[in-house]
Amino acid sequence: MSTFEAIILALIQGITEFLPISSSAHLILPSQVLGWEDQGLAFDVAVHVGTLLAVITYYRKDVGELIAGWFGSWCGQHSEYSRLAWLLIWATVPAGLAGLFGAGLIEDYARSALVIAITTIVFGLVLWYADVRASDRAGIHSLTLTQAILVGLAQAVALIPGVSRSGITMTAGLLIGLKRVDAARFSFLLSIPVIIMAGGYQGVKLAQQPEPVAWLAVISGMVVSFVAAYLCIHYFLKVIARMGMLPFVIYRLILGVALLWLVFG
């Protein structure tokens, strides 16, 4: 993989990781349209590290409060952040179990361009429905355990390519009554343990299967994905506060139709 390809793929990963538009739907395009080869495990780990550092840096105050609150809860010191930390942990369990027991099936049967096209369109329409009926009432600290687990179950569905992890968790957040910005905030915080698990799993595979590493491409990918993801989070929150999710719904529908054209054209 050339450095140019690494930068383009890292841009795609960094931007689409947190937008509700499906990173898998976009990452399939370079291989389908340009014939680019798979980027390899080392690059996958690098862009995961880049996007992880981006969300942690952007929400560094929240992350610090969550860590302190979680440790404090073991000493009987309870707060809004200790409660939120436990909700995030419980909400991560469904995706962890789904990844442990279902990742193989999905890898074998659900990674086709047709599946990605259909899920991109269908879950784009579901996002539109959730956004239209959004109440903009509740904040992130009003979440109940049941609601957090419902968002976690939605996140598990995102193992199917094209669904979009951020898209389905924001959809679930809107459906349970969260404000748009709070639905996004919970989704982004919930991404941290999931990205750690995915990156850790890929890191273990990389350690077990040594392969030559193109360090310039890997480092470029990590830096570019970090910058792209950080800016993406910042501007995305501004867009949904003013315009809601409609621009992303329209984009998903166009992308889904384009993928269908690639499949059947």
Q: What is the structure's pLDDT at 109? A: 62
CB of 190 closer than 8 Å to CB of 12: no
Q: Hey, CA dihedral for 47, 34, 213, 219, is it positive or negative?
A: negative
What integer is the mean pLDDT of 17-28? Answer: 83
**Distance separating alpha carbons of residues 27 and 120, to the nearest angstrom:** 13
The burial of 122, by beta-carbon neighbours within 10 Å (0-12 exposed, 13-18 middle, 19 or more buried), is given as middle
Q: What is the structure's pLDDT at 46? A: 85
Q: Is the pLDDT of residue 242 over 80?
A: yes
Q: Which residues of 166-186 are buried (b: 16+ CB within 10 A; e: fewer)?
A: bbbbbbbbbbbbbbbbbbbbb
Query: pLDDT tens, 73-132?
Result: 999 898 999 999 999 999 999 988 887 777 667 766 666 888 889 999 999 999 999 999
What percent of the chain lies above the pLDDT cut of 70?
90
What integer is the mean pLDDT of 209-215? Answer: 72
Q: What is the structure's pLDDT at 38? A: 61
What integer is the mean pLDDT of 149-175? Answer: 94
Q: What is the structure's pLDDT at 6? A: 82
Taking the CA atoms of residue 155, residue 104, residue 258 and residue 185 in that order, the dihedral angle to the nearest 10 degrees is 20
Query: pLDDT tens, 24-49?
Result: 778 766 766 666 666 666 777 888 89
DSSP annotation of 140 reads: G
Q: What one-character-per-residue DSSP string does 79-138 give? A: -HHHHHHHHHHHHHHHHHHHHHHHHHHHHHHS-SHHHHHHHHHHHHHHHHHHHHT----B
Phi, psi for residue 45 in degrees, rounded to 5? -60, -40
